[in-house]
Structure 1
Amino acid sequence: MSIIPEISLRAEERRLAWRLLSGTFAYTFGNGIAVIAAALIMSQTTGDPGSIGVLFIMVSLPQALLSFVAGRMADHYSPQRICLVANLISASGGGGLLLLAVFGELTPYPLYFFSFLLSACTAMIFPATNALIRHCVREEQLPRFSSRFEIAIQAGSLISVAIGGAAMDHFSPASVFLVSAIAYFISGLLIGSLRYRSPTSAETDADVQQVLNHYRPAGALLLYATGNVIITVTNTLMVILVVQYFSASATSLGIADALAGVGVIVSSLLYTRIHKQFPLVVIIAGGYLLCAICIFLQPRFGLSHYFVLFPLGTLFYGFARIGCRQLIYSVCRREATGRFFGYANAAGLALSVPATLAVSWLVRHHDVMMGYTATGLFIISGMVVALYILLFKRRC
């Protein structure tokens, strides 16, 4: 007699999961188009690595400042409503950029302002979405869903940069920002109207405490934060390397970023199998180490070699990134998920600001190879420190 309600419950969980994935894809797509368009406009109008670095700092800074508060809000208020409001504000920001493009007013300072606004909305959406995942997905399904979630993120990023780079070459910036605004609106509708009942879970306080006996939460947060730094710094370096150092077009930039998305998608498809073969910490450490090696090698050859090394690096990064998300799920209870991801995002983006400034300074006063070398060394040193904190046993 209980089979039909159980089947109905599982069908409802699948529907919620696919709406979460679709909304995440739409948001990442819209955000990726806006960011790549702003970076290309900044590169074309100023040609200054420092200006591009400041732009990505404007993307990082509000997330560092607001993620702590946003995480607590996601745990205390309706996370789907937070996503709805933030997406509608983002859609309005995309509309503002569209109007500036139409009237020819896309100068650096308006780009800084709207990048800051869109990033502030991302700071609200990120912990809220992760809190929704814990409410809509069973604990035993989290590893598989985490890989699908990463596919949704990277597919949105892949398609956005491919379309964004080509559109900036062949169409007007206004058309790019129009598509971005529409994507934000669709994401808000998909996630903002979710209705759920938290699934029953095998997770208990004893289960979480057993994990905490082996791992310190601060180490898990710092490992995740290291991934945020990689994203921000390599986005800055990629624009400089492809457009200025290799003297390639915006389409080449889009191709490179699209290939990077393919690398992470492949890692997401393989993650469940890798997760069964290796411990979580080994996956994270190995992924970051191999990613750092690829980053070190990327500027030392031509553009064609970069098209191979960049997605290879993101393949290894993807393993580490999904592993870090799963590690955070393991060290926190469901009702604290938004808070933990808010802490992780804030820490990562707070570290991204000085790291981006330092790398931009190295590129400006030395060369782009020095910037890539410093980035690789930072990843390895950050990973070692985070692993030490993660595995360090408290003394009684």
Structure 2
Amino acid sequence: MTSRPQLLLPAAFITSLGNNIQLLGAALLLVRAQGSMLDVGWLFIAVAVPQAVLSPYFGRLADRFDRRRLWVLCDVFSAAAALALPIGLAVGASQQSLVYATNFALAVLAAQFTPASAALIRERVPTAQLRRFNAHYEIALQSGMLLSAGVGGVALQYFGPMPLFTFNAVTFVLSGVLVYFVGKGRLNATAAVVEGGTVLVRRLPLVPLAVLFGQGLVVVTVFNALLPVLLVGEWQRGPAVLGVVDALGGAGFLLAAAAYRRSAMRFGDLRLAIGGFLICSALLALQPLFGVPALMGFVLLGAFLFGQSRIATRSLLMTSVDASRVGHAFGIANGYGLAATVLVMLIAAVVTGHSDTRYGFATLAVISLLSAATAAATIARRTAPDQSTDVTVLI
């Protein structure tokens, strides 16, 4: 059967759409039940902790077993877990416990899905096409997230959360069907590496690349937590302004995905990844200082740079390890990123609680700057003595 890796793109889009609508609906249920911000925080912990703990181990499983089958199985069990929430609510189960339990189950499955999906992409997409595919994959993910805010918000207002949870289950089923029809074909790893191209990328050490990739999760999550506190809590702006800022961030990501391939050809993935993260760290500190119009500009520019850095890091992580170990690499990176996110979120919350969001953003900026600088220094130190490191070919 011929492999059809392009079907992974719509599968990623609808999964991203459904997952973000699920979290939006779950948070709303907790708030409507007179829950506090602590209840919503526990929801985040229920989603983050199992992935942080299990991702490295599940990454090894993704390298041992059929990755396409693992993706499909994750979708099947995720559909069942997502459907358990509206069914449980319909029969009168405890709302709060049910929300936590179903989202915990989905998080466990996501811990397997993340490394399995990355490994399947590396397995099915020729190395020469990875840059283009990763850019399209990021567009699919970000489009799903961006659309979920609008579609989810309108649907929640007019139909309530129950249909949304059912919709999420349907998206998992559709994703599983698409991945099944990708087919059983598999690339020859060696042929994929030497397939024609002009740009050489050295194989880089795994740990600093995992730190860079994980730092992307930290920045996005903590920034999204600080932003509503700044706009709604401190600047007294309405939800509409928050929505516009979120939309600009999404637009910046989409522009980044469109521009990434050309930028990577000019600067190289490593410079693009590290340089983008360093500049974004400086922009984070400026976000709350000059009012709403400046914030909008900073968010658009930051998302444009950050998005390209994110895709570049993803490409480096995929090509700097053997194709048989990609699942393990992404498992480590995802686990580190989520564990670091919990820690940095707590630090930023404490700092902001004792001051204001200016210091929260500054704290995030300093941590992000230190992470990117440490990763860059580690890569430079480990690769400088040996300039004959293995290379992979990308276009």
Q: Distance in 2 between matches of 1:373 and 1:103?
A: 47
Give the C-alpha shift of residue 190 in structure 1. 1.2
**1:294/1:309 contact within 8 Å kept:** yes
Distance 2:321 2:228 in 1: 37
The 1:313–1:110 alpha-carbon spacing in structure 2 relative to 1, beyond 3 Å, is farther
Instruction: Report which stretch shifted further, 98-107 or 296-305.
Output: 98-107
1:126 to 2:114 alignment: yes
1:6 alignment counterpart = none
Structure 2: how far apart are the matches of 1:251 and 1:137? 40
Name the residue aligned to 2:168. 180
1:328–1:254 CA distance, 2 compared to 1 (3 A): same
1:224 CA drift (Å): 0.8
Q: Report if the CA contact (8 A) 1:294-1:313 is conserved.
A: yes
Q: 101, 104, 116: which one pairs with 1:116? A: 104
**Paired residue for 1:287?**
276
Aligned to 2:53: 65
2:311 aligned with 1:338, yes or no?
no
Task: Return the offset for 1:154.
Answer: 0.7
2:313 maps to what in 1? Answer: 324
Change (3 A) 1:356 1:105: farther
2:356 maps to 1:371: no
Per mean C-alpha deviation after superposition, the further-off stretch among 54-63 and 322-331 is: 54-63
Q: Counterpart of 2:10 in structure 1: which amino acid?
A: S
2:268 pairs with 1:276:
no
Alpha-carbon RMSD: 2.8
1:157 corresponds in structure 2 to 145
**2:193 counterpart letter in structure 1:** E
Give the structure-2-normalised TM-score: 0.86
Residue number in structure 1 paired with 2:193: 203
Conservation of the 8 A alpha-carbon contact between 2:126 and 2:193: no
- Secondary structure (helix, strand or coil) at the match of 2:183 reads coil
Partner residue, 2:341: 352
Following superposition, the deviation at residue 263 of structure 1 comes to 1.2
Shift of the 108–378 alpha-carbon distance from structure 1 to 2, 3 Å rule, reads farther
Equivalent residue in structure 1 for 2:136, among 137, 148, 154? 148
Shift of residue 301, structure 1, vs aligned partner: 4.8
* Aligned residue in 1 for 2:229: 240
More helix by share: 1
When the two structures are aligned, how many residues end up with a matched partner? 378
Q: Which residue of 1 aligns with 2:286?
A: 297
CA distance in 2, matches of 1:318, 1:95: 32
Letter of the 1:286 partner, please give it.
Answer: G
**Could you tell me which residue of structure 1 aligns to residue 390 of structure 2?**
none
Q: Distance in 1 between matches of 2:279 and 2:92?
A: 44
For 1:255 and 1:276, locate their aligned partners in 2 and report how far apart those are by CA, in whole Å: 32
Q: Tell me the CA shift for residue 165 of structure 1.
A: 2.5
Partner AA of 1:196 in structure 2:
K
Post-superposition offset of 1:93 = 2.6
